[in-house]
Amino acid sequence: MGKRVVSIAKSQKRETALSHLNKELGGEFACYVLITCTQPDAQGKMEVSLDFEGDETLASFLVENAAQVFEDRDVSRKTK
């Protein structure tokens, strides 16, 4: 399955952005997970949000497997 990129203008409110994303993705996918964060403030803190559409168990599975992909990439970089 190929990647699909949906652009969301920064000025849109989160709810509007999520509505736009749902409209763009349509019924093509059983589930999706969207993780976003703000730019860090002066203290280095940022706001992180996680939204998903579809079955919660499937969304959890997607996040766990995505984390494994990043861990595997980190390990392969360290062994090179």
- Give me the DSSP letters along 13-31: -HHHHHHHHHHHHTTS-S-
Confidence of residue 80 (pLDDT cuts 50, 70, 90): low
Nearest CA to 51 out of 26, 21, 80, 76 is that of: 21
Minimum mean pLDDT among 1-5, 21-25, 45-49, 75-79: which range?
Answer: 1-5
* CB-CB contact of 48 with 18 (8 Å): no
Give the mean pLDDT of 18-38. 83
Confidence of residue 57 (pLDDT cuts 50, 70, 90): very high
- The domain ranges of the chain are 30-78
